[in-house]
Chain A
Amino acid sequence: MDTTQLLKGVLDLAVLAVLREEDGYGYDILRRLRSAGLDEIGDASVYGTLRRLFAAGYLTTYVVPSEEGPHRKYYSLNPSGRSQLKTGGETWRGFAATMDALLESR
């Protein structure tokens, strides 16, 4: 099964998850997701998801000036984002357990 299809549904959760420990800027978040094993994830997916989570009020942003290269916009989880990550995580675990059980029994 094509993982990009699966990814669509959980991209929000994945992005929220990699921001739990540490704030990050767009490309940095992409790298974290890829090194976590989501190799097929594209830059536009991450950028679009960040924009959407920001618009939904789960993220706050701040700009860090850079001496060499462009300024970087960092994204950070706010309390609303943390609670979204918590409920989203619970939903996922429940769903994953159901799927596991379903696949196991066959």
Chain B
Amino acid sequence: MNLDIAHYAAAVGAALADLPDDIRAELLEDLPAHLAEVAAEVEAEGGTLEARLGTPAAYAAELRATLGASVPAGGGARLSTLVVQAKGRLRTTDRQIGRIIGYAGLSEFGRLLRPGWWVVRGYLAAWILCEVVSGGSGPEGALPRIGDSVVGGLIVALAMIVASVWLGRTAATRVKRWQRVGSGVVSAGLVLFGIGLLVNVDDQATREYGGGYYGEYPGQWVDASWQGGGNLVVVDAKGQVLSQVSVINLDSESYVDAKIHNCDAILTWEYERWPVLARLCRHQGLYPGDSPTGGPTAAPTVAPTTTPSVTPTTAPTR
């Protein structure tokens, strides 16, 4: 019977969700106690709570009617008018979006998704709990683990999901402001954490399966066949081409016999010959022609001068 009362009160609370928090809290504060009173009487008379009181929605509607015009206006009358208008507009948008997806309203659809969120919330809480219990050895995957035990982790997850669903089902009976604010903060934290977890898992997955990716960055671009020699370019972790570097072979304890290119003195023909070098340098905003030195076709600086500066003058003869 007590569970019935809690559920009934929760359903009434849900139907009044659009009321301002303080008014709603005041209306619902005593409701479970009152319903318990009614239930005791109704049982003594041989009936059931719902048969006597009608559906929670009907009860909520009747309760709402008792608010009448007495919904406090007070000093914030103008503000409350604005709030009411804004809420009206929100409700319209809610219904319009709802029509598109085939529900009475977007919020209606959201309410249907709520149990799903409770399950996800329980799972995330279990993941955090397992991480704390295992000494925070860092994220290893999407499954919660106690130490190395996935089974243990899943048992914890199951327990947390059950707890989370129970919390969700009875949430409407906890109407104190701090309880609502507190659960909101915790939920927001869990959502952020969940997104972080998703990104982390996705990152690991794409790194694992993305081996064929040919990128500009080290570690993704390994050529095991290189024996030394040839033309090289040295890049840092961000793919920036380093200049004035040398490569030393530790086995032979000597500089490798290779030409090491960079973007400082690159020539047009070098760009054409090594497209990768061109791409790396363009990535740094350097293009051929920007470079201070000319190409191999640059004209020699010494050119023969042919014009004599002095021309012989012939003196006129008488």
Contact = CB atoms under 8 A, between A and B. Distances in A.
Contact of B66 (A26, A45, A72, A73): A45
A43 B66 contact: no
B38 interface: yes
Interface of A: 8, 11, 25-27, 42-45, 47-49, 51-52, 55-56, 69-73
Contacts, number: 67
Nearest to B60: A44
A52 B67 contact: yes
A47 B62 CA distance: 10
Label chain A's interface by main secondary structure.
Answer: helix
Contacts of B60: 44
How many chain B residues sit at the interface, stated as a range, is 20 to 34
Interface string B31-70: 1011011111100000000001110000111111111101
B37 A26 contact: yes
Tell me if B's interface is mostly helix, strand, loop or mixed: helix
25 contacts: A8-B68, A27-B37, A27-B38, A27-B41, A42-B54, A42-B59, A43-B52, A44-B62, A44-B63, A45-B63, A47-B31, A48-B27, A48-B64, A48-B65, A51-B26, A52-B67, A55-B26, A56-B70, A69-B36, A70-B33, A70-B37, A70-B39, A71-B33, A73-B30, A73-B34
Nearest to B2: A70
B33 A8 contact: no
A8 B65 contact: yes
A42 B30 contact: no
Contacts of A72: 37
A42 B62 contact: yes
Contacts of A11: 66
Nearest to B44: A69
A45 B303 CA distance: 109
Contacts of A42: 53-54, 59, 62
Contacts of A25: 37
